[in-house]
Amino acid sequence: MKGLLVVAAMALMSIGGLFACARTAFAASFPPSGMRIVPDPLYGVTVDDISNVTNIVNSSANLSHMPTTRIVFDYGQAPSTYTSAVSRIEPVSYIMGELVDSSDMTRYTLQQYHDRTAQYLSALGNQVDIWEIGNEVNGNWTGAYSDVGAKIYGAWQQVHAAGKRSELTLWYDAGCGNGSFELDPIAFTNQYVPADMRSGLEYVTVSYYETQCNNIRPSAAALTTLFDQLHSLYPNAKLGFGEIGFPNKVGSNTSVAQSMINYYYRLNLSTPGYIGGYFWWHYYEDMLPYTTKPLWQTLDAAFSSMPVREQTAVPATPN
């Protein structure tokens, strides 16, 4: 991967007072101009509900590592819906903004996708650390692949031109894909992600739901093969999981959820640039408020056990 060698974690922690030494001890990407450093690995959670921001803030402040909170920007909502929440969450968490969930991809025309990206960048560009320009893009429910490719390429161009970090989430469908009607992440990339976008993305992740994939739990060897392939296609991107969990809140499946969290968040893969992430989908529903939801303790323990290894820092790709 291109970029400068990682500076020592203690030196990074002195820069601008961005994060406390008690909660960080790892390498970081050099930030684009005007943006804060986002350290490796990513301790990811997803919130699809901001009705109680206090619960989100309190949980983030009490986690053993400063998380990266992935906020789902809901269909039809203006950026102003999230302005206050982002401002309150930002001091205790890095922020990834999901511009459009895969379930809503077909509800936007190409122009609407472009306009939405522009509006959110204008309103929140200085606060969102990572912009998810496409979610589960090779899923067969997202619409015609040519349309999906055009939407995400346009969004990436906008984020890239603005000098912000971009992230793409692919759908990992090994063992459960819909045959020729659903491309796997590698095939989709080869056919619908242009070369400049492949070289310019800062992050590429995969979404995976065991319960929607015949309850298959991929081995570390299988995942290493996948991420090695992605590394060859996205040589400058950091790699990880962009979404895991259940399609619905955990309910009575607590033991299965604990097993998933303990397995995925503790993976130690050898692929260059692997940074974890995981971003449990129903964090808001399953783990908040943190004082009353035992699954939060499971996640925090997994955070503390996540492997940390030296990374190569990836600066924003020049425009």
Q: What average pLDDT does the segment 85-113 reach?
A: 98
% of the chain beyond a pLDDT of 90 = 82
Report how far Cα 89 is from the mean position of its chain's Cα atoms.
Answer: 16
Separation of alpha carbons 247 and 137, rounded Å: 17
Q: Are 269 and 233 in contact (CB under 8 A)?
A: no
- Name which of 128-137, 151-160, 180-189 the model is least confident about: 180-189
Report residue 116's pLDDT band, with 50, 70 and 90 as the boundaries: very high
pLDDT at 62: 98
What the block records as the tokens of 173 is 């469908």
Phi, psi of 107 (to 5 degrees): -85, -5
pLDDT at 252: 82
Beta bridge partners of 95: 69
Beta bridge partners of 205: 169, 240
pLDDT at 8: 35
Separation of alpha carbons 151 and 234, rounded Å: 19
What the block records as the tokens of 132 is 């998810």
Query: To the nearest whole number, what is the mean pLDDT of the chain?
Result: 89
Phi, psi of 276 (to 5 degrees): 75, -110
pLDDT at 319: 55
Residues near 236 by beta carbon (within 8 Å), at least 6 away in sequence = 1, 2, 3, 199, 200, 201, 202, 314, 317
Q: What average pLDDT does the segment 171-175 reach?
A: 92
pLDDT at 308: 85
pLDDT at 33: 72
Report residue 1's pLDDT band, with 50, 70 and 90 as the boundaries: very low
Separation of alpha carbons 275 and 272, rounded Å: 9
pTM, rounded to two decimals: 0.89
Q: Which CATH class is domain 9-305?
A: alpha beta
Amino acid at 233: L
DSSP per-residue codes, 69-102: EEEE--TT--GGGTHHHHHHHGGGSEEEEESS-G
Report residue 30's pLDDT band, with 50, 70 and 90 as the boundaries: low
Q: Residue 88, class by beta-carbon neighbours within 10 Å (0-12 exposed, 13-18 middle, 19+ buried)? A: middle
Does the pLDDT at position 313 exceed 80? no
- Name which of 46-50, 222-226, 304-308 the model is least confident about: 304-308
Tokens 């020049």 appear where? 318
Spans of all domains in the chain: 9-305
pLDDT at 317: 52
Q: What average pLDDT does the segment 104-115 reach?
A: 98
Q: Are 4 and 313 in contact (CB under 8 A)?
A: yes
